[in-house]
Amino acid sequence: MTEQPARRLLLVHAHPDDESINNGATMARYAAEGARVTLVTCTLGELGEVIPPGLRHLTGAALGEHRRGELTAAMRELGVADFRLLGGAGRYQDSGMMGLPENDDPACFWRADVDDAARHLVEVILEVCPQVLVTYDDHGGYGHPDHIQAHRVAMRAVELAADAGWRIPKVYWNRVPRAIGERAFAQLHADLPGLPFTKSAVLDDVPGVVDDERITTEIDGTAYATAKSAAMAAHATQIDVSGAYFALSNELAQPLFTTEYYELVRGEPGDTRETDLFSGIEGAS
The Cβ-side half-sphere exposure at 156, using a 13 Å CA radius, reads 15
Residue 115 assigned to a binding site: no
As a whole number of angstroms, the distance between CA 262 and CA 156 comes to 19
Please provide the distance, in angstroms rounded to a whole number, between the alpha carbons at the two ends of the chain.
Answer: 24
Region of residue 81 (left: phi > 0; alpha: psi -120 to 50; beta: else): alpha
Residue 212 assigned to a binding site: no
Look at the chain and count its residues: 285
Most distant CA pair in the chain, distance: 56
Residue 271 assigned to a binding site: no
In 3D space, the residue among 156, 154, 177, 148 whose CA is nearest the CA of residue 257 turns out to be 177
As a whole number of angstroms, the distance between CA 63 and CA 237 comes to 9
Binding-site positions read 15, 18, 147
Binding-site positions for Zn(2+) read 15, 18, 147
